Amino acid sequence: MKVAPLIALPLVWAMSFNVFSAAAAANVDVTAADAFKDINRTLPGLTPVTYPAAHEKHKVIVFIDNQCTFCSQVVKNVQRYNDAGLTMSFLTVAPPSIRDSVIEDMARVWCSADRKKSLQNAMAGFLPGNNASASCSAEIVKQSALAERLGITLTPTMIVLDNPPQVILGSVKPAEILNKLSGKPL
């Protein structure tokens, strides 16, 4: 089943991001509701690195790669997102041009004993010292496959898991996300 690219989902806001492909998914015949179902069906099996908000207002999936400067800003400021009521769950997308290195690097994060700390360190340029197992590499491949099905072609891409889901492109401050989700102008 081919799921609608994110351009079919409501785009809330776009700021700073890395584009790794200008091509969108072709032959799209699935709705935003189908994309939402695919995310909810697939997400539990992908073991995202999740930073829960104490007073959750929204759940957000963030697709990142470890070579993305703007992704690093989101991970670095995860506590600000949590303080704003945004539970942040991170998944990896492996852009085609750097696919093998992203899979190897991020699999090391997913294989580490403390994924949250390892993710923050990796996004700051310090990969964990452990090796990546085949199962951790397969996990990253599955995460990236979801991103491909959703038509994600830039990082970071945030998907707010409301129904319908809302897409936020780039490194956007928590207050701006909440304002846009509530319909307030910036």
Helix (H) or strand (E) holding 87: strand 86-92
Q: What is the pTM of this model?
A: 0.84
- Checking if the pLDDT of 92 tops 90, the result is yes
- pLDDT, tens only, 129-173: 888 899 999 999 999 999 998 888 889 999 999 877 888 999 999
- pLDDT, tens only, 44-63: 899 999 999 999 999 999 99
- pLDDT, tens only, 175-186: 999 998 888 765
Query: Which of the 8 DSSP states describes residue 138?
Result: H
State the distance between the two ends of the chain, measured CA to CA, in whole angstroms: 37
Q: Map out the domains of the chain with their CATH numbers.
A: 6-180 (3.40.30.10)
Single-letter residue type at 150: L
